């Protein structure tokens, strides 16, 4: 499978717990992006990496959120002390370069429910 | 003003109809433009890139007006399988900050 993989597909957690999501991009893609999507909204940008460097973070990415891409391959997104407002679909995407011609390829997402 | 704004929808059309979606973007420095399709509870998938001269892919035609900062998507001869949410997407600049997505316009095609 050469697509973008995300794990887990679904996560239910209690408020206040920490959660971590994983994304495996397309192997030859050097850019990796995290987005969040809530019902009725388009995906909202959180952060992106070029290789292992985190180049941009949205103001949506509060101190409770941290993302890493330690070896320039897979990435993790951790949310500490989850809140009900964190419930959303977390989407990972990858691209070769800026994605200016071919856009991004998205994974199937991780659906987080905070209870 | 939001970075990317789309028709609120939803659009409910019969099979065979022609439907057009409109989108405006706020950053005149934007360089890359796309339409994505998203099925219910699925990830967005690239439908087509939008080029300055306009481009067509089968029943789908995309237009870009840089002066007006306006993008459109025309779907001819709508099929039931076209039912989905269509997302207008803009890249801030070619050097590559992230893609910015509109809220999406939902299309429902009925028989």
Chain A partners within 8 Å of B99 (Cβ): 33, 45, 99, 103-104
Report the pLDDT averaged over residues B13-34.
93
Quick check: A82 and A13 in contact, CB under 8 A? yes
Q: CB B91 to CB A31 under 8 A? A: no
Report the pLDDT averaged over residues B36-53.
93
Nearest to B23 by CA among B58, B53, B64: B64
> Residue B51: its pLDDT value, please?
87
Q: CB B46 to CB A45 under 8 A? A: no
Report the pLDDT averaged over residues B50-58.
91
pLDDT reading at A5 higher than 80: yes
Residue of A41, A98, A101 with shortest CB distance to B95? A98
> Residue B52: its pLDDT value, please?
87
Of A40-44, A76-80, B24-28, highest mean pLDDT: A76-80
Question: pLDDT, tens digit, for every residue of A11-63?
Answer: 999 999 999 999 999 998 999 999 999 999 999 999 999 999 999 898 888 89
Q: CB A103 to CB B101 under 8 A? A: no
pLDDT reading at B54 higher than 70: yes
**Three-state SS annotation for B19-61:** EEEEEEECCCCCCEEEEEEECCCCCCEEEEEECCCCEEECCEE
> Residue B96: its pLDDT value, please?
58
Three-state secondary structure call for residue A85? helix
Q: Which helix (H) or strand (E) holds B16?
A: none
Chain A partners within 8 Å of B32 (Cβ): 98-101, 103
Chain B partners within 8 Å of A107 (Cβ): 43
Sequence-distant (≥ 6) Cβ neighbours of residue B19 within 8 angstroms: B11, B13, B74, B75, B78, B107
């Amino acid at each position: 499978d050469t697509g973008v993989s995300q794990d887990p597909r679904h996560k239910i957690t209690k408020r206040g717990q920490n959660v971590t999501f994983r994304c495996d991009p397309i192997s030859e893609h050097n850019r990796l992006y995290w987005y969040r999507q809530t019902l009725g909204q388009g995906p909202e940008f959180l952060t992106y990496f070029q290789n292992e460097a985190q180049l941009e973070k949205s103001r949506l990415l509060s101190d409770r959120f941290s993302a890493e891409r330690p070896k320039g391959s897979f990435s993790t997104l951790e949310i500490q002390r989850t809140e009900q407002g964190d419930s959303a679909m977390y989407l990972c995407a990858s691209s070769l370069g800026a994605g200016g011609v071919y856009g991004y390829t998205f994974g199937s997402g991780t659906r987080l429910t905070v209870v | 003003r939001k970075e990317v704004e789309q028709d609120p929808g939803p659009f409910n059309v019969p099979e065979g109809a022609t439907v057009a979606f409109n989108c405006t973007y706020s950053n005149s420095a934007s360089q890359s433009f796309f339409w994505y399709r998203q099925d219910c509870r699925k990830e967005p998938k690239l439908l087509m890139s939008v080029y300055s001269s306009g481009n067509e892919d089968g029943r789908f035609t995309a237009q870009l007006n840089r002066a007006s900062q306006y993008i459109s998507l025309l779907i001819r001869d709508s099929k039931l399988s076209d039912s989905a949410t269509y997302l207008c997407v803009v890249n801030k600049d070619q050097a590559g900050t992230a893609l910015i997505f509109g809220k999406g316009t939902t299309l429902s095609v009925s028989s």
